[in-house]
Amino acid sequence: MRTTDFTYNDEQFADLQMLRYRVDGFDELSLQQKELIYYLSEAALSGRDILWDQNGKYNLRIRKTLETIYTHYNGDRECDDFMAFVIYLKRVWFSNGIHHHYGCEKFVPDFSENFFRQAILQVPQQLLPLDEDETSEDLCNLLCPVIFNPDIMPKRVNQADGDDLLLTSSCNYYEDGITQQEAETFYSLMKNENDKQPVMYGMNSRLVKENGLLKEKVWKSDGMYGQAIQRIVFWLEKASQVAENDRQRNVIKKLIEFYHTGDLKTFDEYTIQWVQETEAIVDFTNGFTETYGDPLGLKASWEGYANFKDKEATLRTEKLSSNAQWFEDHSPVDKRFKKDVCKGVSAKVIKAAILGGDLYPASAIGINLPNSNWVRAEYGSKSVTICNLTDAYNKAAHGNGFQKEFVIDEETLKMLENYQDICDDLHTDLHECLGHGSGKLLPGVDPDALKAYGATIEEARADLFGLYYLADKKLVDLGLTPNEEAYKAQYYGYMMNGLLTQLVRIEFGKEIEESHMRNRSLIAHWALEHGQEMKVVELVRKENKTYVKINCYEKLRELFGILLQEIQRIKSEGDYEAARNLVEQYGVKINSEIHQEILTRYKALHLSPYKGFINPVYTPIYNKEKEIIDVKVTYGESYAEQMLRYSRDYATLPFIN
């Protein structure tokens, strides 16, 4: 359904649109598998508060305050201030905090500070998150500057070259006042160059200063975030009792052990066991996982999800993973940076059953884990493409006018209609299953050597691997692409996105910050510039609008191959300067004329650049003996209902730490 009311309704608000994803196939699972998913989904929801606190130290208090106003304010609920307030709350829910989930900048509320103050004073005081001796008035004075003053906590993650990235980022991984230099020194002292199996230092802790000394507060069941972790462990214990096989049971038990000890060696052991468990239909991630939310790329945000395998679609990714060595051997990168033996790349297509933590409500559609370089090199990785989320995206995008506006001509448009969905899926498979898993570091190279540029370079490496091979005849031979032309749809879509359309996600005047976006811009602009002489790709003007024109797809593939070579060299050698130059030159800056034009054209379409998902609801059915005899899945819950229920049922942490 298209909605024309752009600013205020349940499904579409600000720059966001909520989608529902379906979990078809759940009813056909065995009772034991359903029960397992139910317990894992409870575990995935129980860590929600951790992420809120990681994203900013006032987030939990702000959420409770906003929700209390939302449910108890009995002034005029039709006035502009209240309407704007509701949109703000929905945005905060979506971002798990007061900063944009993707751009990281603090939102500016469209309601007045006056309205907010009088609303706080009007709602019942006992429902507000007040500290002992604190009044509603005190809460106003604490929160108003945080919410309304643009100079306070302006960015969750700041990546601007030259700034002190910790002092200018308001994520809650480092205590206020700790400088980038201090933190980098603290962690570099922990590292030992000769350690062939280094743990991911700093991954599961907050760095604080006590009596002038830096110290880690570790996230574990009797440490920081303990209350939430105990709840997670409670559900994991139950899950372990209905595991599909012994291996999976041991995986869950190892994870529980890690949650109890916080020991990072145990974490590596857990991921090794997890990567090797490939038989079960049901699978999960639960824990401190991705480091995009830390400007130094060390601290991992909490996420959790449960899923089950789509057997038919998995045949597709198995064709890739079983040929992993062929792809590694034939890639254009220097031999010194290639893996001699590709170990254990396993790939599957899955359906998400629940999304939690940093995967909710905005989610990835492909995931490759674990992130430890040495574990990946020695034990391989598990890669997934989440097909029921992709389906929901494709349905929402179908016929919405976007392609018609930005694609250069009818012929190209037709090509995209025919092949883009297939190629998109395949590109995600290649990116996750082979791209991230390919290549190796030279001996002695610090996996964090590229520092703040590491994430962008890594995404570029995986994207380029995918782009390069999408055009390979091998994919036709494997029956994965329908013919030798299909890849062109992906090339066009990729260049259009990197050069033009991804800019719809960025406010006018700002630069590109998010690492996946920087990566796409880097690849597209590098290819544009390096193909300039031979006019491989051009930006052309037609009726006062800018379009991407690709004159030679074969040459474009060669350019992708050359850049892949260089990016792999940078990664393998840990060449920080080269990473910085590439990212700063091609991945960050935006041409303001083009930006303005794209924003104007996009605005006229009334679309939302970001999507998120409403989770299904799982309800266990019990018999008289209190045993589960079935689990029902339903989809009816609205966005606000779901968020309020989660805040009620999965509130695990105190508002004030």
Residues that bind Zn ion (CB under 5 A): 459, 462
Quote the least distance from Cβ 462 to Zn ion, whole Å. Answer: 5
How far is residue 378's CA from residue 358's CA, in Å, rounded to a whole number?
27
Residue 235 or 468: the one with the smaller Cβ distance to Zn ion is: 468
CA atoms within 13 A on the CB side of 378: 12
Residue 373 or 608: the one with the smaller Cβ distance to Zn ion is: 373
Residue 183 or 457: the one with the smaller Cβ distance to Zn ion is: 457
Residue 248 or 301: the one with the smaller Cβ distance to Zn ion is: 301
How far is residue 650's CA from residue 644's CA, in Å, rounded to a whole number?
10
Quote the least distance from Cβ 515 to Zn ion, whole Å. Answer: 9
How far is residue 406's CA from residue 594's CA, in Å, rounded to a whole number?
13
In this structure, are residues 142 and 148 in contact, taking their beta carbons and an 8 Å threshold?
no
Residue 64 or 427: the one with the smaller Cβ distance to Zn ion is: 427
Quote the least distance from Cβ 366 to Zn ion, whole Å. Answer: 7
Quote the least distance from Cβ 345 to Zn ion, whole Å. Answer: 14
- Bridge-based pairing of strands 610-614 and 16-20 is parallel
Residue 383 or 647: the one with the smaller Cβ distance to Zn ion is: 383
How far is residue 552's CA from residue 530's CA, in Å, rounded to a whole number?
13
One-letter-per-residue 3-state SS of 187-256: HHHHCCCCCCCCCCCCCCEEEEEECCEEEEEEECCCCECHHHHHHHHHHHHHHHHCCCCHHHHHHHHHHH
Integer CA distances (angstroms), 16 to 2, 88, 597, in order: 14, 12, 21
Quote the least distance from Cβ 369 to Zn ion, whole Å. Answer: 11
Residue 383 or 420: the one with the smaller Cβ distance to Zn ion is: 383
In this structure, are residues 452 and 297 in contact, taking their beta carbons and an 8 Å threshold?
yes
- Taking residue 6's Cβ as centre, other Cβ atoms within 10 Å add up to 13
Q: How would you class 108 by CB atoms within 10 Å of its CB: exposed for 0-12, middle for 13-18, buried for 19 or more?
A: exposed
How far is residue 297's CA from residue 321's CA, in Å, rounded to a whole number?
28
Quote the least distance from Cβ 180 to Zn ion, whole Å. Answer: 25
Residue 316 or 427: the one with the smaller Cβ distance to Zn ion is: 427
In this structure, are residues 547 and 422 in contact, taking their beta carbons and an 8 Å threshold?
no
Residue 43 or 369: the one with the smaller Cβ distance to Zn ion is: 369
- Bridge-based pairing of strands 381-386 and 537-542 is unpaired
Q: Which residue is nearest to Zn ion (CB)?
A: 462
Q: How would you class 211 by CB atoms within 10 Å of its CB: exposed for 0-12, middle for 13-18, buried for 19 or more?
A: exposed
Quote the least distance from Cβ 432 to Zn ion, whole Å. Answer: 6
Measuring CA to CA, which residue among 562, 247, 611 is closest to residue 400? 611
Quote the least distance from Cβ 427 to Zn ion, whole Å. Answer: 11
Quote the least distance from Cβ 517 to Zn ion, whole Å. Answer: 12
Quote the least distance from Cβ 297 to Zn ion, whole Å. Answer: 14
Integer CA distances (angstroms), 476 to 414, 491, 574, in order: 20, 16, 35
Residue 224 or 434: the one with the smaller Cβ distance to Zn ion is: 434
Q: Which residues 6+ apart lie within 8 Å of 79 measured at CB?
A: none
Quote the least distance from Cβ 459 to Zn ion, whole Å. Answer: 5
Helix (H, G, I), strand (E, B) or coil at 365: coil
Q: Which residues 6+ apart lie within 8 Å of 188 measured at CB?
A: none
Quote the least distance from Cβ 468 to Zn ion, whole Å. Answer: 15
Q: For the chain, give percent helix, strand, coil, nearest 5.
A: 50, 15, 35
Quote the least distance from Cβ 456 to Zn ion, whole Å. Answer: 11
Residue 67 or 463: the one with the smaller Cβ distance to Zn ion is: 463
Residue 431 or 525: the one with the smaller Cβ distance to Zn ion is: 431
Residue 359 or 631: the one with the smaller Cβ distance to Zn ion is: 359
In this structure, are residues 202 and 267 in contact, taking their beta carbons and an 8 Å threshold?
no
How far is residue 576's CA from residue 573's CA, in Å, rounded to a whole number?
9
